[in-house]
Structure formats: C-alpha cells, structure tokens
Amino acid sequence: MLTYCIVDDDAVSRRMLQSIIEQSELGEVVGMAGGGVEGKERILELSPDVVLVDLLMPDQDGIETILQLKQEGFQGKFVMISQIENKEMIGKAYRAGIEFYIHKPINRIEVEAVLGKVVEQWKITRYLSEIKQSLAKLDSLHPEPVASRRKEGAREIMQHILMDMGVISESGSRDMTEIIEFLIHHHKSETLPPLKELYEVAAKAHKPVGSDMDKEGKAVEQRIRRTVYAALTNLANIGLTDYSNPKFEHYAPLYFDFQDVRLAMRDMDDERTLEKRKVNIKKFLQVFYLETLNKLREA
C-alpha cells in the first residue's frame, strides 16, 4: 500500500485529500503539514511514497520544497496541487520533478484518476524491481563466464521481449521499437510523454518530411493497438494451455491488467468469438520502456 504526505496551508484541502485517498483505498496518509518548511521536515522523517504539495504557500512554495527535498536525497513521487493556471508556473513545477497536477478546488474524480495513475506506476516499478531481484538470484545460481557475455543493445532486448509475446512480426512492433529507442536516448524521466507525441516519433521515423503527421500518427496508434491486442491474445492462449508457463507468468500480469487476461482466457475456453477488448497502450509502452531500460542497465 502506498503512503502519502500532504503539504497544504489549507486545512480543508488536507482533510478532503486524506478522505479521498483512504476511502478510495489508494493508500494511507501517514503525515500532513501546513507549510513547506514543516512539510520538508515531516517528509524526510516519514519518507512517504508520494507527496501531495500545494504550489503556493505563505512560508515556502511547493517548487522550492520539492527542490530542497531532492537535494536531501528524497526519492518519492510528487503531485502538485494548485488553482494556478499559469502555464509557465506549471511548466516550472514539472521541471522541478512533479509527476502529475491536481487542480483546486479539490474534485474527488480528478484526485482518484490522478492518484490511480500514480498507483499504477508504483506497481510497474515494483514489478520491475522484483524481476531484477529474480534475475540477480538466477545469475548467482548459474554464473555465466565473463568471457562469454555480450552486451545486448536496446533493439535486441526489445526484439527478444516482442518475440516472447509472439508479436515480433506485427507492424506495430516496429513503431514501438522506434518509440522506446527514442525514449532511451532523449527522455530523462521514467514516466512517458503524451501518447500523441510518441506516435509522431514513430511516424517521423518512417515517413518523409512533409507528410501529414496527424494522419500518420493515427495510423501508428492503430498499428500499436492491434499489436498490443495481439500480445494480450497470445498470452491468454499460452495461459490457457499452461498456466505455469514462464512467459505467461512474467508478461501477462506485468504488461496487462490481469482481469483482461482472465476474460480473454475465459472467451477462448468457452470457444466463443474473442471479444474485442480495450487495451491500455500507455501501460504497455510504460512497462516496455522500463523493462528495456532495466535490462540495458544489467547488461
């Protein structure tokens, strides 16, 4: 369960956020503070997973608080809270290291949606950490001679992952490879830019200058959607045949909401026409990016 600290000079906002977080089972609020100076001390003391911090506070603004915490080595995630709509200020907050932005006045639906994304990212990071630990244990049990090791490049790593999921020949796999390679070389955060920007990256990689990028971006989206759906179908088929298959155990819960995998397996088991299900492209690309990064670091 995620832990939160709320830093806001408005006591009503603090109570509302705490109520939403705990009633929606998004985690536990372990600390609150009414200002940036006090908030910094509480956060360093409690070390929560997520900090919700107001942008404007009388003693010290949220951006300065975040920068000081980062200098102190705090590794948690930041979500900014504010009624300010100034794009320059919001951009400054993102550059300081916030993950998401919640508008005031506090709206339950927005808070649940934003923090739901934070929880999802936390789960992805945890999955990858567990994978890393498992691989380290395997390496210690079966050490490979140093002379025989060859460092894999990003494309080789991605091809191996896509092959495992049975989608290496799908046209969308090429688009995803271009996107992840772009992120590895040009993106410094583990969170993804908007999907539309990523689709344009893939479109530009294969289309000449002057092409209709909006149209090409939509074509990329459709190719990737079909590829992700094909991966879901392939993994569901593997799971139906052999629930303990290592590929199924690894990729199905990591890249997809497992409920979607189970529903696809049910349709196959009942010999019904497989219902065309929605797939979470952003989650798939996020995990694909993080897993590729992780394997690159281990190589």
Provide the pLDDT for residue 135.
60
Average pLDDT over residues 246-253: 88
CA end-to-end distance (rounded Å), the chain: 31
Q: CA 193, CA 183: separation in Å to the nearest integer?
A: 9
What is the model's pLDDT at position 48? 95
Helix (H) / strand (E) element for 111: namely: helix 108-141
Q: What does the pLDDT read at residue 131?
A: 66
Cβ–Cβ under 8 Å, residues 165 and 176: no
Written as six digits, the tokens of 179 are 């996107």
With tokens 């798939």, the residue in question is 284
- Higher per-residue confidence, 179 vs 272: 179
Full strand arrangement of the beta sheet holding 28-33: 28-33, 3-7, 50-54, 77-82, 98-103
- Of 247, 255, 252, nearest in space to 285 by CA: 255
Distance CA 195, CA 217 (A): 10
Which segment of 3-17, 26-40, 196-210, 219-233 scores lowest on mean pLDDT? 196-210
Q: Which band of pLDDT confidence, cut at 50, 70 and 90, is reported for residue 12? A: very high
The highest-confidence range among 9-23, 175-189, 261-275, by mean pLDDT, is 9-23
69 vs 277, more confident: 69
Residue 222 has pLDDT above 70, yes or no: yes
The per-residue pLDDT for 147 is 41
Residue for token pair 């992780």: 294
Read off the pTM. Answer: 0.52
pLDDT at 298: 77
pLDDT at position 151, please? 52
> How confident is the model over 136-191, as pLDDT tens digits?
665 565 554 444 444 568 899 999 999 999 999 899 999 999 999 999 888 777 77
User: What are the start-end ranges of the H helices in 165-269?
Assistant: 171-186, 195-206, 213-241, 246-255, 258-269
Pick the more confident residue, 221 or 189.
221
Residue 105: asked if its preceding bond is cis (omega within 30°), the reply is yes
Would you state the pLDDT for residue 39? 95
Structure-model confidence comparison of residues 266 and 280, the more confident one: 280
Q: Is residue 125 over pLDDT 50?
A: yes
What are the pLDDT digits (tens) for 41-94? 999 999 999 999 999 998 999 999 999 999 999 989 999 998 887 778 888 888
The whole-number pLDDT of residue 178 equals 93
Checking if the pLDDT of 35 tops 50, the result is yes
Average pLDDT, the chain: 85
Residue 192, sorted as left (phi over 0), alpha (psi -120 to 50) or beta, turns out to be beta
